[in-house]
Amino acid sequence: MTIEGSKNILVTGGAGFIGSALVPLLLSKNYRVTVVDHLSTSRLQNLNPFFTLEKFKFIQLDLLDYRKLTEVVKECDIVFHLAANVDVRKGRLNTEVDFLNNIVATRNVLESMRISDRCKKIIFTSSSVVYGESAVIPTPESYGPLKPISLYGASKLACEALISGYVGTFGIQSVIFRLANIVGSSIGHGVIFDFFRKLKQSDGKYLEILGDGNQKKSYLYIEDCVNALAFGLNQLGSGLEILNVGSDDQIDTNTVAQIIITELGLHPEITHTSELKDGRGWIGDIKNMLLSTDKLKKIGWQINHSSKDTVSVTVKKIIEHNQNKDK
């Protein structure tokens, strides 16, 4: 992988789960890294190891503040745009969440790049949910038409379209990554996080599973994910590139739950609940998701964990972290 230590990389949402794992990888390759984050759902402490480094800078900033954003972007060469609403279910409660934090924020980043003299390259983290309920499994990047079934998915697809428009109109260079479920010990949302929270609230006596538990999805470990994102740096320059990122297999929700309760040594009463009759956990939940990653593998990326191994490693690390906190 090419090392371009003279480059200044801007990471939006860099204090979040994926961003704070990407930052040390970029720093290790001798890039200068500027993180912007509004810290509403992320934690500044995720970046504590980097504040003493000369090549690192943090700026608390909401991407909806276009004027301040333009001042930051003009000092950078490449943008990793990770900032977004991270909870698919929020869109049902507040339809502005995905529109503002995903679509408007992305437009602001792109417009800041358009008027910048030097920043013309963007790597964007989209999502597997843009495919909707794909009829082809594993799903390749060429699959279509794309029919997302959540506002989150629709907003991510809208962001992709905006990026494509800026690439075609203004010569921006971009790589878009469509991510499967990315997990790790510091995850703050998603099914693994929810199961730990529910078991803690019930003192290990009960566990509610949304849907019938047969939803099958791909889970990828955070280190495998950020390694994939770094490959995007060498793919910038060909206009627009779209790459799937995920594991080669799936695991169902019931198995995820069983891994957690086994590792914790619990025997909770398990219930399945859903407002839907087709086994989904919630409106917008995709029951069957597996991405084809052949395209990314051809440029050298390797997967180090299966979905089951990913979940098992994540669960063990969360338990270990919680035990150390309690000491």
Q: Is 152 a catalytic residue?
A: yes
Q: How far is CA 169 from the centre of its chain?
A: 27
Q: DSSP secondary structure string, 122-169? A: EEEEEEGGGGBS-SSSSBPTT--S-B-SSHHHHHHHHHHHHHHHHHHH
Helix spans in 43-142 (H): 66-73, 90-93, 96-98, 105-114
- Of 152, 166, 219, 221, the active-site residue reads 152
253 three-state secondary structure: helix
Alpha-carbon torsion (107, 112, 115, 120), positive or negative: negative
- d(C-alpha 272, C-alpha 209), whole Å: 5
Q: Quick check: 184 and 222 in contact, CB under 8 A?
A: yes
Q: Quick check: 182 and 130 in contact, CB under 8 A?
A: no
Comparing CA positions, the residue from 250, 315, 242, 237 lying closest to residue 287 is 250
- State the CB neighbour count (10 A cutoff) for residue 51: 10
Return the structure tokens found at 54.
């000369």
- State the CB neighbour count (10 A cutoff) for residue 162: 17
- d(C-alpha 81, C-alpha 292), whole Å: 23
Residues with catalytic roles? 152
